[in-house]
Structure 1
Amino acid sequence: MDNAILRSAWEALPTLLAATPLTLGFALAAMVLGLPLGLTVALLRLFAPPPLRQVAALYVSFIRGTPLLVQIFVVYYGLPSLGLTLTPIQGGVLALTLNTAAYLSETIRAAIQSVAVGQREAAYSLGLSRAQTMTLVILPQAARVALPSLGNSLIGLVKDTSLVSVITVVELLRSAQLVIARTFEPFGPYLAAALIYWAISSLLELVQRRLEKRLTPGG
Structure 2
Amino acid sequence: MEFLQIAWGYKEMLLLGAVTTALISGISILLGMPLGLVFAFGLVSQNGLVRRFCAVYRSFWRGTPLLVQILLIFYLLPSVGLDLSPVAAAVLALTLNTSAFQAEIFRGGLTALPKGQIEAAQMLGISPTDIRRRIVIPQLMRLVTPAIVNEFISILKNSSIISVISVTELLRTGQQIVSATYRPLEVYGLIAMVYILMNLVIAQFGHRAEKRLARGARV
TM-score range, shorter chain: over 0.9
TM-score (norm 2): 0.93
What one-letter code is carried by the residue in structure 2 that aligns with 1:43? F
Q: C-alpha separation between the residues in 2 aligned to 1:145 and 1:4?
A: 46
Aligned with 2:58: secondary structure? helix
What is the aligned partner in structure 2 of residue 50 from structure 1? 48
- Answer yes or no: is the 8 Å Cα contact 1:7–1:188 preserved in 2: no
- Answer yes or no: is the 8 Å Cα contact 2:43–2:51 preserved in 1: yes
Q: Does 1:68 find its partner at 2:66?
A: yes
CA-based RMSD = 1.6
Unaligned runs of at least 5 residues, structure 1 = none
124-133 vs 24-33, which moves further: 124-133
What one-letter code is carried by the residue in structure 1 that aligns with 2:118? R
Unaligned runs of at least 5 residues, structure 2 = none
- Answer yes or no: is the 8 Å Cα contact 1:12–1:176 preserved in 2: no
Aligned with 1:211: secondary structure? helix
Identical-pair percentage: 37
Q: C-alpha separation between the residues in 2 aligned to 1:116 and 1:147?
A: 17
Q: Does 1:116 find its partner at 2:114?
A: yes
Q: 1:27 Cα deviation (Å)?
A: 0.8
Pairs within 5 Å for 1:19-168: 19-47=17-45, 49-168=47-166
Q: C-alpha separation between the residues in 1 aligned to 2:46 and 2:36?
A: 14
What is the aligned partner in structure 2 of residue 177 from structure 1? 175
TM-score (norm 1): 0.93
What is the aligned partner in structure 2 of residue 200 from structure 1? 198
Structure 1: 4+ residue segments shifted above 6 A? none
Aligned residues: 217
Q: C-alpha separation between the residues in 2 aligned to 1:129 and 1:5?
A: 61
Q: C-alpha separation between the residues in 1 aligned to 2:165 and 2:48?
A: 37
Residue deviations 1:67-116 (CA, integer Å, cap 9, x gap): 10110011001222222221101100000000000000001111111111
Q: C-alpha separation between the residues in 1 aligned to 2:2 and 2:194?
A: 19
91-100 vs 135-144, which moves further: 135-144
Q: C-alpha separation between the residues in 1 aligned to 2:62 and 2:39?
A: 14
Q: C-alpha separation between the residues in 2 aligned to 1:105 and 1:48?
A: 16
- Answer yes or no: is the 8 Å Cα contact 2:3–2:186 preserved in 1: yes
Q: C-alpha separation between the residues in 1 aligned to 2:124 and 2:64?
A: 45
- Answer yes or no: is the 8 Å Cα contact 2:3–2:190 preserved in 1: no
